[in-house]
Amino acid sequence: MGARQVSALSDLKVGDRGILVTLDLPETVQNHLMHMGFVPEACVHALRRAPAGDPTVYCIDGMEIALRRETAAAIRVRPCTGVTAAATPAEEAPELAEAGR
C-alpha cells in the first residue's frame, strides 16, 4: 500500500474535489469551519475562483463557502476516489437546479 497523497485545499483546481484530512488553523477558526461542515472525511468541491485568484468558493455538504487562499492553504485534503466523491445537488438533479433559477 502506497503513501496517501495529501495536499492543501488551495491547490485544488476549479472543478476538483478532495476529502478533508486536517485543519491546521487556530482553534477559533477551526471550530467555525467545522460547524459549517469542514470536518474530516467530508468531500469538498472547488466551484469557482475570483478573477484575481482569491478567494475561492468551495462546496461542502451542499453549502457554498468562500475561503481566502491563506486559509485554504492550511486545510489538508486527499484526492476523492469514485464512490467517495459525492455529487453536488445541481449535478444530482440538474432539472431542479434550472427550476430554481
Residue 94's pLDDT is 46
Strand-strand pairing, 63-67 and 56-60: antiparallel
Structure confidence by residue, pLDDT tens digits, 56-88: 999 998 999 999 999 999 999 999 876 444 444
Domains along the chain with CATH numbers: 7-99 (2.30.30.90)
> ω before 89 within 30° of 0 (cis)?
no
Q: What is the pTM of this model?
A: 0.74
Query: Mean per-residue pLDDT for 26-45?
Result: 93
- Cα–Cα distance measured from residue 30 to residue 91, given in angstroms and rounded to the nearest whole number: 29
Q: Is 11 helix (H, G, I), strand (E, B) or coil?
A: helix
Residue 101's pLDDT is 42
Query: Mean per-residue pLDDT for 6-33?
Result: 93
Residue 4's pLDDT is 63
Q: Is the CB of residue 19 less than 8 Å from the CB of residue 84? A: yes
